[in-house]
Amino acid sequence: MKSSRVLGTGSYLPSRVMTNADLELIVDTTATWILERTGIEKRHLVSDGETCCDLAEAAARRALEAAGIQASDLDLILVATTTPDQFFPSTACLLQQRLGVRGCAAFDLQAVCAGFVYALDVADKFIRTGAAKHALVVGSETFSRILDWTDRTTCVLFGDGAGAVVLGASDEPGILSTHLHADGSYKDLLQVPGGIGNGRQQDAFVEMKGNEVFRIAVNTLGRIVEETLEANGLSQSDIDWLVPHQANIRIIQATARKLDLPMERVVVTVAEHGNTSSASIPLAFDQAVRDGRIQRGQMVLMEAFGGGFTWGSALIRY
């Protein structure tokens, strides 16, 4: 059976930047509180009229270029997002049209901050079963559109952006294993309650009990890291790079401690990007590939935790 391998990566951040000092003017907070509790210094935000698909397209074009393939070579386009441009068509279909191709399968996947790892798992399975030779996997979010900008407990945490990878069928192992989980019993800790189905369109803003989410995230990520190593018969020392979901530097440090991994081996973008939900892992991955930190042949562990709750990991031989 074929394996799937990362052929290329790409990412994109909108040009508008909001610093912690800017936030001091909007809500009752301080730059120091935000930095000390989260590690975030600034975040990029979309401008009026800029959408999830705009970010996805820019990241996707860069990933296709890095992979050295054309959009017409794609058999699958998968977009992980919680903030699609519209209810339908899916952002993946909108993206397909922007890329100027027709016919290949295209759909969105929603698993909030774990969305990229979920999408990577699905694309990997398409390739392993022979249903696709080339897959474009994008995480793209405009979380700024679902934030209550009067709620200091949430609006300081998130940013907008997109990241993408192109996967290709390969005889050499690339994606070694993926591990997905969910527990739908924690809705009250992290949600956007508004929706069409429940008639609460006006409540389309993130609500979070941050410290309870924090505690569960740290424990759960510790477990998923152990599960991934065990499933592959590996130990901590086999991991070259941890590319974690970027929600909070303290959560990232806790997972690195669990892996006994020095922070120099952890790709951290939370200071510059904030939490970009499903975009955070491919954004961080692309940054570390492009600046030469992550090299071909190295072992990369991705892990994420988010609303649902959903959580998961992917172990990759890059």
Which among 20, 134, 155, 245 is annotated as catalytic? 245
Q: Which stretch binds ligand ACO (CB under 6 A): 53-61, 175-183, 205-213, 232-240?
A: 205-213
Q: Which of residues 62-91 bind ligand ACO (CB under 6 A)?
A: none
- DSSP per-residue letters across the chain: --EEEEEEEEEE--SEEEEHHHHHTTSS--HHHHHHHH---EEEEPPTT--HHHHHHHHHHHHHHHHT--GGG-SEEEEE-SS-SSSSS-HHHHHHHHTT--SSEEEEE--GGGHHHHHHHHHHHHHHTTS-SEEEEEEEEEGGGG--TT-HHHHTTB-EEEEEEEEEEESS--EEEEEEEE-GGGGGGEE----TTTT-GGG-S-EE-HHHHHHHHHHHHHHHHHHHHHHTT--GGG--EEEE--S-HHHHHHHHHHHT--GGGB---HHHH-B-GGGHHHHHHHHHHHTTSS-TT-EEEEEEEETTTEEEEEEEE-
186 binds ligand ACO (CB under 6 A): no
Q: Which of 99, 132, 166, 213 binds ligand ACO (CB under 6 A)?
A: 213
Nearer Cβ to ligand ACO (96/154): 154
Please confirm, yes or no, whether 52 is among the known catalytic residues: no
Least distance in angstroms from the C-beta of 304 to ligand ACO: 8
| Least CB distance to ligand ACO at residue 27 (A) | 7
Least Cβ distance, residue 269 to ligand ACO (angstroms): 15
Catalytic residue among 113, 134, 155, 248: 113
Q: Using CB under 6 A, list all residues that contact ligand ACO.
A: 29, 33-34, 37-38, 112-113, 152-153, 156, 190, 210-211, 213-214, 217, 247-248, 251, 275, 277, 306-307
Active site residues: 113, 245, 275
